[in-house]
Each structure stands twice: as C-alpha cells, then as structure tokens.
Structure 1
Amino acid sequence: MLMHPELMMNLADERRRELIAEADRERLLAAAQTARRARRGRKSEAVRGQPTGNLASCESSVAVPVR
C-alpha cells in the first residue's frame, strides 16, 4: 500500500513521542522507587547486622567468629 510521505512522517513522529513518553514514565517510576527505598531505610537502621522490622527473628542470633 502506497502512503503519502506526510502521513508516514506523522506516524513516525507520533511513535517517537510515544517512546519518549514511555521512557519518561519509566524514569519517573524508578526515581520514585529509589526515593521510597531511601525513606524506608532512614526510618530505622539495622543494629549489628540484624534486619529491621516489626517481627522478631525466629532463630537466635549468635556471634560468628571472624575467619
């Protein structure tokens, strides 16, 4: 099917704009996730390698000798 050059140029421009918008959305989501992780990390810090959280660990913590 033969198309007009203007139509092909419009389709190419529209696709390029869609790709740019998608990349912007992905970049924005990645920045939001990074910020969320940073905020979570600041709330409570790990103490001597113990995980932070509300629940106590099921296993007892034992000091491991250094190799």
Structure 2
Amino acid sequence: RDLYGTMIHAGAVRSYLITTGRISREAREWAAGKSIGLIDGARLAELARAEPPRDEADVHAGVSIWPE
C-alpha cells in the first residue's frame, strides 16, 4: 500500500514490487486491478535464468528511481 501511495504521489502510471520472498494472497488480491506488477522470488529466479537483453538499452528502458 505504501508503494501505491508513492506511485500516486509521484504521478507514476505503473510500478513493480519485487521481492526475493513470497507475496501473500491478500496482497495479490489488493493489487488486482491496480497498475502494480508483483514479482515474487520464484518469478524473479525465472527471470534471472531467462535470456539476457540483447543490448544494455533494453535493461534500462523505462526505469526510474524516485525519490532521487
């Protein structure tokens, strides 16, 4: 919920919560219908094993850090 508040405050149109742990059913239900992507440890491991981007620009596309 803090992430969603920060997202609204910053005017972001999408955000991601990434954890090495698990995401509860309650958290998934709460995030449903909101523009928040949830990536748990199992999915993160899948992504880490996937083929890397073809060039560095693909890695940084759409990434922003807030607050700076």
Tell me: higher relative CO, structure 1 or 2? Use CA pairs within 8 A at least 6 residues apart: 2
Same topology, TM > 0.5: no
Over alpha carbons, which structure has the higher Rg? 1
From the two aligned structures, give the one with the greater strand fraction. Answer: 2
**Larger relative helix fraction:** 1
Please tell me the TM-score bracket, short chain as reference: under 0.3
Normalised to the residue count of structure 1, the TM-score between the two structures is 0.23
